Chain A
């Protein structure tokens, strides 16, 4: 059974909502990314999303775009992100989702990518800009190497497309909370809840909600109707703020704990 399915099974049994933090590989540097991954696992991350930096992250807001730029300045590639994952695998058992745009993976070579990712201990791959219409062979290749293809759905996704995505998706479905790019928002719209309901009508997979979730209140709000909450920009913003401060890793751990703390 895949680590992700196991994890969601475990969450369901314990009646808990899942917490999925996101960080960009190589921001502020690769060694720190490894320490951050381990710290986030300790802080209660149920799954971790590891972002591959890309020069044109059109689905991301400015916070994650800047993180990408910092990582690219360090020369970070898909290969480095995989190495990162491989290095931390000895220390943590948390499922890791590689979060990327298609272009870096295409440059890496989609055929060698799947076995390389599997070897590095990656559990699933989310390609933000690969549409289901074009994803069939990509998906097949991932599945052959026991990687879960994760797909995004948005409030603007039609029911027909939703059904098509549900057919191809494995692991979980990532529901985008609102129309727009990643980044913090003060309020959660009702869009997310309605979307999750629609996803449930076509798929039995767990649903994670992301985009714009930055506070413990929002995380809890998501847990009321979805299986997990993804927090990206809010964490990346803290990383940006602290930069190469020696307290960075400790602080991010504390921040992550505060997001999932019981009140």
Chain B
């Protein structure tokens, strides 16, 4: 947290982002896509042009600088598809830090190329066979490593989740996306966009893009999750659309989520967040949806269902238990600005 107020830290980070990662990334007016869609003028923020091919490097460089500052010689990280693992392995190679990446066995099989790439960069990739053998279990395993080796090890978390201050750090390091995009769209068009669209997995690129626009009431913030083949358990990759709260560990997680916008207010009405059986143990500030678009009968139907009992009790509990003024999981300032769409492949 001390580094946060340290100008030298940010100067070094910005230099690396420019000379090593390749910032700023361009904002591209996709004219053919605009014509094809026949509606809004569509601009693409080209985070894919960064070194290692994704926005993950923004956060990895920042946190690796912190690790070095804290005198940790060993860095561990989790990875799902491998992008965060590759980014972490890359910055560890840059700083000369030992690097261990935890990856679910399923993901190792599916993303063999990224595994190869991480190993090429000098990282040890550890295959996790526990549980569902995917990202969630890789995170669990990384946490176990961390509590065991905390004296010399830094855990470089890539998503907007985990214990405080991780979500806060991820937001701070990824907000460069939104800051650049805001400046670029203003200089290109002279005005702010009507809407921002970001895909949501762990939430790092969405919070990075959205955060500098939170105060702009006229800008709709739309998070899109992978809906897969349907909304029943096991058929999709959408973790946040259910709107069900859960605790993500022993951590000041809620508080950190709230700090995405530094605003904490009263509890949202349960009516506004329809509940579904949880498909996940994590919750997010991105859980609120708006149902304004036609052509989504599936989602609309669900919106009319009554909240389930489990949700109600969680909600009541929320109002009366933890000091929620400080620990709102659904920070209204943020959540109410984000509508979350579920992209479901018709099957």
Contact = CB atoms under 8 A, between A and B. Distances in A.
Interface residues on B, range: 20 to 34
A133 B148 CA distance: 22
Contact of A56 (B136, B252, B317, B327): B136
A110 interface: yes
A128 B310 contact: no
Interface string A93-110: 000000001110011011
B147 A136 contact: no
A27 B120 CA distance: 42
Q: Name which of A58, A69, A128, A130 has the most chain B CB atoms within 10 A of its CB.
A: A58
A114 to B, nearest CB: 11
Contact of B247 (A55, A57, A69, A129): A129
B314 interface: yes
Interface residues of A, number: 33
Contacts, number: 83
Q: Name which of A55, A106, A109 has the most chain B CB atoms within 10 A of its CB.
A: A106
Given A58-B143, A134-B327, A107 B252 contact: no
Interface in B182-222: none
B266 interface: no
Q: Say what secondary structure dominates the interface of chain B.
A: loop
Interface in A77-129: 101-103, 106-107, 109-112, 128-129
A137 B321 contact: yes
Nearest to B253: A134
Given A56-B140, A62-B130, A106 B249 contact: no
Interface string B293-311: 0000000000000000010
A101 B143 CA distance: 15
B35 interface: no
Contacts of B323: 136-137
A238 interface: no
A103 B252 contact: no
A61 B140 CA distance: 10
B23 interface: no
Given A61-B144, A109-B314, A134-B327, 10 more contacts: A103-B281, A106-B245, A106-B246, A109-B310, A110-B321, A134-B252, A137-B322, A138-B321, A141-B321, A180-B147
20 contacts: A56-B281, A58-B140, A58-B143, A59-B147, A102-B249, A102-B250, A103-B248, A106-B245, A106-B246, A111-B320, A129-B247, A129-B250, A129-B251, A131-B252, A154-B147, A179-B149, A179-B151, A180-B144, A181-B147, A181-B148
